[in-house]
Amino acid sequence: MKKERNSRRKRLKIKDIIKRSILFVVALFFAAVFILPTLLTVTNSFMSQSEISANYGQIFATDPNGGKVFVSEVVNLKFIPDMVSFEQYNSVLFKSPDYLFKFWNSVIFAVPIVLLQLLIAVLASYAFTRLKGKLKAIVFFVYIIICLMPYQVTLVPNYLVADWLNILDTRWAIWLPGISSPFAVYLLTKYMKRIPTSIIEAAKVDGAGEWQIFRKICLPLCKGALFSVGILVFIDYWNMVEQPLIMFTTDEKYPLSIFLSKISAGEIGLAFAVATVYMIPSLLVFMYGEDYLVEGITYQGGVKG
């Protein structure tokens, strides 16, 4: 009997090892597929313009009539440059200040939206969590409906309101809709409702008021959720395209996300370098808040899963 049990355990262990190995290989394959474009962008940013033209010139070539040229040969995808060159970064960071201006435009748009949206969202979420009544339920239902709408649906009303407020072609046309977005309110409200009422009731028994409950109980327990929502909001507005195109009549205030698409076919090397610089803030934000992001996902009402 013991031999049979041992052999059965060995077979189960072997099956488990094979299953995990297959899952690891599949996960590794998909991870490689997703990371290859990023890796290609970073490594190609260190190529010289002549090498990039030799490898990808056919893709971006145009015929005299303005159309695209048929690519008759296989494009040479290279991950390792023949000779490392900082020519593209020298042009982006020192010779052409337009790219840095657009980069700081992106920062000026995204950072205030993230900070103020979280400030409004955490206060509104606490109110939605603590207050009772039909009016609260109706307002929260409206928030959900607006949250389900894609931004393209609300773009025209936002434009009309911005025109009425006379803030078109100003940064407020981007800031105000972003700050008042219901996305963070919805997520934080659902998160705060997971906090056990027994904790809040115990704080009330100890004489804590609403402000103390909010500051000493809700905020510390929601720290992971705040970072999670902040990361998502930052990436969303860091990569925005439609809003500036509609709200601005000149390209002076355009973020780098729009300016990237306007780089000409003869500046593909610059596009690789600019795209690499453009990815750095998102990667830093994600790397810094990765633990908080996981905590925000696994948190289960006072107990981490």
pLDDT recorded at residue 300: 44
Q: pLDDT tens digits, residue range 34-82?
A: 888 888 888 888 887 777 777 766 665 555 565 555 555 566 677 778 7
pLDDT recorded at residue 302: 45
Q: Which of 284, 291, 244, 274 is nearest to 90 (CA)?
A: 274
Q: Are strands 303-304 and 299-300 parallel, antiparallel or unpaired?
A: antiparallel
pLDDT recorded at residue 2: 62
Other Cβ atoms closer than 10 A to 70: 8
Q: Report the SS3 class of residue 300.
A: strand
Name the band, by pLDDT with cuts 50, 70 and 90, for residue 220: confident
264: burial class by Cβ within 10 Å (0-12, 13-18, 19+)?
A: exposed
Instruction: Tell me the whole-structure pTM to 2 decimals.
Output: 0.79
Res. 241: pLDDT tops 70: yes
Res. 183: pLDDT tops 90: no
Residue 304 DSSP class? E
Q: Report the SS3 class of residue 33.
A: helix
Instruction: State the amino acid at position 262 in one-letter form.
Output: K
Q: Which of 231, 236, 220, 214 is nearest to 284 (CA)?
A: 231
| Chain centre to alpha carbon of residue 269 | 25
